[in-house]
């Protein structure tokens, strides 16, 4: 009896090498890996399917540094042969990005791209049309497993006005969905840019089970950037493959006997004893060589090599390795507590924002400047700070806006309100958790590493022991993911020492040009545009009834450009 296997990824345009050796394979390597593993699966009579759960864009120079954005990336993405693919929130923040998704990615993955709860507004006619087909029904080639797949996005509300995200609860009531879940299939596959524990997947699970009490369901999640595995019932599981092309999530279902090749099989025979297994593979060549049984010479396929060289020529064309300056030390987004000397947010709040959140014509006006912590997406490592690093840290095109002459007593109440994330935001449907890094949706308390990292050594022959020291009984591990999920603690393909994760506040605030001896009557309230809905809601709570038309542009440059300018100015020296 063969297994049905899946590989899933989440990448944010991290198509070139990751920042660490442990996550350093590129999109071309992943193509070689998939091609090699598919061949192996074919030989052994198994089926191997590739899944992509969205957020392919923003967060890396390869996408963000070109004009138009994504000039090189769409042609690189499309080279992977993906079986089921859907949209993430990042594809929808900007209307030009949604248009590229509709005009490029959807046709590039024709028949595989699913948009179960997403519509596109045709710019010519104004018509609201499905972004892509709602579902896909297909039969796997080796085992004849009849699959019905959906592709969802969580109940996202921050999209530009050329798309429409339908809440999952409403989609479930639609005729096409109700008909689809009544189809006679061997397996439902629900992929989505949706957290595994969120209300959307709970509702979808309930809806499918209301019609099919026994059909296996495999969910693939995304959005919250973590490795995760969840059990919904004995025949329904979900897996999520981390973030930024660091992880290839592997999921295997053993025991489904497809009716596609034998129609006379009875239902109870097709799903007699099932087993669901997951593994989180670090995205590096060591792991790829290990799993394919190949080596440096035999592993890469021609196709994979061509894509790797396309990535390198694109990176060169964009000058992504050009250095703006030299970071004097590591600054951590979640690996150091906030506030602290090693916290990236403390650095931003105390050193950067007080310099960049100043408008030349209002520079002496007392100012409170607020930025959400989710505006920062990654750590800064000691050493060269490049064009690429800039977009890895902060890819957004957010600008500083401001409200003039806000009473100080109300303005200073704002930060605690934004950080407490209380009922004031639930009512306004702008959950305050969206202000912070997405990891915090799923990680609810600090994780403090118990062991200290030590020197790395790679043992290519040892599964789950990839980075070990050679000559001691106790392995010396390098830091990395140490996942605990519904399957226990054996999901990580490579053993690592634990990394700390400290939760950070939703927002940080810098007080600028404040009088020394007394509080000001009024201040300029400066904030990044992304947080405007939360700021206006919280201000109303303090009794200040501002609306959108009161908000003015404070600086024309993006936060990202201003931050890069600060680095050029303050970290000038060579590394
Ligand atoms: N202009 C923006 C857009 C988004 N954010 C932050 O990113 C988070 C979403 O990240 P994912 O990778 O999971 O989609 C969002 O919740 C915001 O915190 C931002 O700061 N500015």
Instruction: Report the pLDDT value the prediction gives residue 503, as an integer from 0 to 100.
Output: 96
Distance between Cα 374 and ligand 1 center (Å): 6
User: What is the tens place of the pLDDT at every residue in 351-391?
Assistant: 999 999 999 999 999 999 999 999 999 999 999 999 999 99
Distance between Cα 356 and ligand 1 center (Å): 21
Determine which residue's CA is closest to atom 19 belonging to ligand 1.
375
Instruction: Report the pLDDT value the prediction gives residue 205, as an integer from 0 to 100.
Output: 98
pLDDT at residue 474 greater than cutoff 70:
no
Pick the range with the lowest mean pLDDT from 70-79, 272-281, 349-358.
Answer: 272-281
Q: For residues 80-97, b (16+ Cβ closer than 10 Å) or e, as one string? A: bebbbbbbbbbbbbbeeb
Token pair for residue 4? Answer: 């049905």
User: What is the tens place of the pLDDT at every residue in 281-291?
Assistant: 999 999 999 99
CA 263 to centroid of chain Cα atoms? 40
Instruction: Report the pLDDT value the prediction gives residue 26, as an integer from 0 to 100.
Output: 96
Instruction: Report the pLDDT value the prediction gives residue 1, as an integer from 0 to 100.
Output: 39
> Is the whole-model pTM more than 0.90?
yes
Neighbours of 19 (CB within 10 A): 16
pLDDT at residue 301 greater than cutoff 70:
yes
Distance between Cα 199 and ligand 1 center (Å): 20
pLDDT at residue 497 greater than cutoff 90:
yes
Confidence of residue 270 (pLDDT cuts 50, 70, 90): low
Q: Which of 22-26, 296-300, 359-363 is the most confident on average?
A: 296-300
- Check pocket membership of 216 for ligand 1, CB cut-off 6 A: no
Determine which residue's CA is closest to atom 17 belonging to ligand 1.
374
User: Which of 92, 370, 372, 442 gets mutated to test ligand 1 (max ligand atoms within 8 A of its CB)?
Assistant: 372
- Check pocket membership of 374 for ligand 1, CB cut-off 6 A: yes
Give the rounded percent of residues in the chain with a pLDDT score beyond 90.
84
Q: What is the 3-state secondary structure (H, E, C) of 121-156?
A: ECCCCCCEEECCECEEEEECCCCCCEEEEEEEECCC
Instruction: Report the pLDDT value the prediction gives residue 17, as an integer from 0 to 100.
Output: 58
Token pair for residue 226? Answer: 């973590």
Q: Which atom of ligand 1 is nearest to the CA of 376?
A: 20
390: closest CA among 352, 443, 354?
352
Confidence of residue 321 (pLDDT cuts 50, 70, 90): very high
State the chain's mean pLDDT as an integer: 92
- Check pocket membership of 18 for ligand 1, CB cut-off 6 A: no
Q: Which atom of ligand 1 is nearest to the CA of 58?
A: 12
- Check pocket membership of 55 for ligand 1, CB cut-off 6 A: yes
Choose between 440 and 4: higher pLDDT: 440
> Taking the domains of the chain in order of start, what are their residue ranges?
3-316, 321-443+505-570, 449-499
Determine which residue's CA is closest to atom 6 belonging to ligand 1.
374
Sheet holding 367-372, edge to edge: 507-512, 367-372, 522-528, 399-407, 552-558
- Check pocket membership of 396 for ligand 1, CB cut-off 6 A: yes
Q: Which atom of ligand 1 is nearest to the CA of 12?
A: 12
Q: State the Cα torsion 240-243-245-247 to the nearest 10°.
A: -50
Measured CA to CA, the distance from residue 442 to residue 437 in angstroms comes to 10
- Check pocket membership of 223 for ligand 1, CB cut-off 6 A: yes
**Which option is the CATH number for 3-316: 3.40.1020.10, 3.60.21.10, 1.20.59.20, 3.20.20.140?**
3.60.21.10
Confidence of residue 257 (pLDDT cuts 50, 70, 90): confident
The residues that bridge with 3 in the sheet, in sequence order, are 254
Mean pLDDT of 168-174: 98
pLDDT at residue 19 greater than cutoff 70:
no
Measured CA to CA, the distance from residue 291 to residue 252 in angstroms comes to 14
152: closest CA among 188, 179, 123, 186?
188
Instruction: Report the pLDDT value the prediction gives residue 265, as an integer from 0 to 100.
Output: 75
Instruction: Burial-class residue 315 by CB neighbours within 10 Å (0-12, 13-18, 19+).
Output: buried
Mean pLDDT of 416-439: 81
Give the rounded percent of residues in the chain with a pLDDT score beyond 70.
91
**Residue 466 CB contacts under 8 Å (≥ 6 apart), including other chains:** 282, 286, 287, 290, 458, 459, 460, 493, 494, 495
Q: Are 176 and 134 in contact (CB under 8 A)?
A: yes
- Check pocket membership of 434 for ligand 1, CB cut-off 6 A: yes
Fold of 321-443+505-570: 5'-nucleotidase;  domain 2 (3.90.780)
Instruction: Report the pLDDT value the prediction gives residue 421, as an integer from 0 to 100.
Output: 77
Instruction: Report the pLDDT value the prediction gives residue 422, as an integer from 0 to 100.
Output: 73
Instruction: Report the pLDDT value the prediction gives residue 466, as an integer from 0 to 100.
Output: 43
402 Rama class: left (phi>0) / alpha (psi -120 to 50) / beta: beta
pLDDT at residue 459 greater than cutoff 60:
no
Confidence of residue 240 (pLDDT cuts 50, 70, 90): very high
Q: Which atom of ligand 1 is nearest to the CA of 438?
A: 13
Cα distance from N-terminal residue to C-terminal residue, the chain: 56
- Check pocket membership of 378 for ligand 1, CB cut-off 6 A: no
What is residue 468's three-state secondary structure? coil
Instruction: Report the pLDDT value the prediction gives residue 365, as an integer from 0 to 100.
Output: 97
- Check pocket membership of 89 for ligand 1, CB cut-off 6 A: yes
Pick the range with the lowest mean pLDDT from 257-261, 352-356, 439-443.
Answer: 257-261
Choose between 115 and 460: higher pLDDT: 115
164: closest CA among 113, 202, 127?
127
């Amino acid at each position: 009896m063969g297994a049905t296997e899946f590989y899933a990824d989440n990448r944010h345009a991290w198509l070139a090498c990751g920042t660490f050796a442990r996550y350093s394979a590129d999109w071309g390597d992943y193509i070689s890996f998939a091609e090699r593993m598919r061949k192996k699966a074919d030989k052994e009579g198994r089926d191997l399917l590739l899944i992509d759960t969205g957020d392919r864009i923003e967060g890396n120079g390869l996408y963000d540094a070109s004009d138009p954005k994504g000039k090189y990336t769409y042609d690189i993405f499309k080279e992977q042969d993906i079986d089921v693919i859907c949209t993430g929130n990042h594809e929808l923040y900007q209307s030009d990005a949604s248009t590229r998704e509709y005009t490029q990615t959807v046709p590039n993955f024709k028949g595989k791209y699913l948009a179960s709860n997403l519509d596109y507004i045709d710019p010519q006619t104004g018509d609201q049309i499905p972004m892509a087909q709602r579902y896909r029904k297909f039969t796997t080639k080796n085992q004849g497993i009849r699959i019905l797949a959906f592709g969802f996005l969580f109940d996202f509300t921050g999209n530009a006005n050329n798309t429409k995200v339908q809440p999952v609860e409403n989609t479930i009531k639609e005729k096409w969905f109700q008909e689809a879940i009544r189809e006679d299939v061997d397996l439902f596959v629900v992929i989505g840019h949706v957290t595994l524990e969120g209300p959307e997947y709970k509702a979808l699970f309930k809806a499918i089970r209301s019609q099919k009490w026994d059909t296996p369901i495999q969910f693939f999640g995304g959005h919250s950037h973590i490795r995760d595995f969840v059990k919904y019932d004995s025949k329904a599981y979900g897996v999520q493959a981390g973030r930024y092309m660091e992880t290839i999530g592997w999921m295997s279902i053993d025991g489904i006997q497809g009716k596609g090749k034998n129609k006379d099989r009875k239902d109870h025979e097709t799903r007699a004893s099932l087993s669901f297994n997951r593994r989180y593979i670090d995205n590096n060549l060591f792991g790829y060589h290990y799993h394919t049984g190949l080596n440096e010479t035999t592993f890469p396929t021609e196709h994979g090599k061509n894509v790797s060289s396309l990535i390198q020529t694109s990176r060169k064309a964009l000058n992504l390795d050009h250095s703006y300056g030299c970071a004097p030390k590591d600054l951590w987004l979640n690996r150091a507590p906030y506030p602290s000397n090693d916290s990236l947010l403390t650095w931003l709040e105390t050193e950067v924002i007080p310099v960049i959140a100043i408008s030349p014509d209002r520079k002496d006006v007392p100012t409170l400047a607020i930025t959400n912590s989710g505006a920062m997406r990654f750590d800064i490592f000691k050493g060269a700070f490049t064009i690429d690093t800039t977009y890895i840290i902060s890819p957004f095109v957010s600008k500083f806006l401001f409200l003039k002459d806000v009473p100080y007593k109300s303005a200073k109440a704002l930060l605690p309100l934004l950080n407490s994330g209380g009922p004031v935001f639930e009512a306004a449907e702008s959950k305050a958790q969206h202000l912070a890094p997405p990891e915090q949706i799923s990680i609810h308390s600090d994780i403090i590493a118990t062991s200290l990292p030590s020197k790395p050594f790679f043992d290519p022959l040892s599964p789950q022991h990839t980075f070990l020291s050679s000559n001691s009984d106790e392995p010396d591990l390098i830091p990395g993911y140490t996942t605990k999920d519904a399957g226990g603690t054996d999901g990580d393909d490579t053993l690592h020492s634990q990394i700390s994760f400290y939760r950070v506040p939703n927002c940080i605030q810098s007080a600028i040009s404040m009088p020394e001896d007394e509080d000001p009557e009024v201040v300029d309230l400066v904030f990044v545009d992304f947080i405007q809905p939360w700021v206006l809601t919280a201000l109303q709570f303090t009794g200040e009834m501002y609306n959108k038309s009161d908000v003015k542009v404070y600086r024309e440059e993006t936060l990202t450009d201003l931050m890069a300018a600060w680095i050029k100015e303050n970290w000038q020296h060579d590394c």
